[in-house]
Amino acid sequence: MIDQKHQIGMFQARINVSRETIGRLKIYHDLLQKWNPVINLVSRSTIKGIWHRHFLDSAQLWELRPQNATTWLDLGSGAGFPGLVIAVLAKGEESSLTMSLVESDARKSAFLLNASQIVDTPVIIYTKRAEDLESEPFDVISARAFAPLVSIFEYSERFLKENTVLLLPKGKNHELELTEARKYWTFELQKTQSVTDPDGVILKIEGLGRA
Task: Report DSSP letters for 140-203, one per residue.
Answer: EEEESSS--HHHHHHHHGGG--TT-EEEEEE-TTHHHHHHHHTTTEEEEEEEEE-SS-TT-EEE
Tell me the average pLDDT across 101-130.
97
Which tens digit of pLDDT belongs to each residue from 63-96? Answer: 999 999 999 999 999 999 999 999 999 999 999 9
Tell me the average pLDDT across 55-68.
95
Domain assignment present for residue 15? The answer is no
Tell me the three-class secondary structure of 36-99, residue by residue: HHHHCCCCCCCHHHHHHHHHHHHHHHHCCCCCCCCEEEEECCCCCCCHHHHHHHHHHCCCCCEE
Q: Which domain does 151 fall in, by range?
A: 60-210
Domain assignment present for residue 14? The answer is no
Task: Count the domains in the chain.
Answer: 1
Domain assignment present for residue 80? The answer is yes
Domain assignment present for residue 169? The answer is yes
Domain assignment present for residue 118? The answer is yes
Supply the CATH number for residue 121's domain: 3.40.50.150
Domain assignment present for residue 35? The answer is no
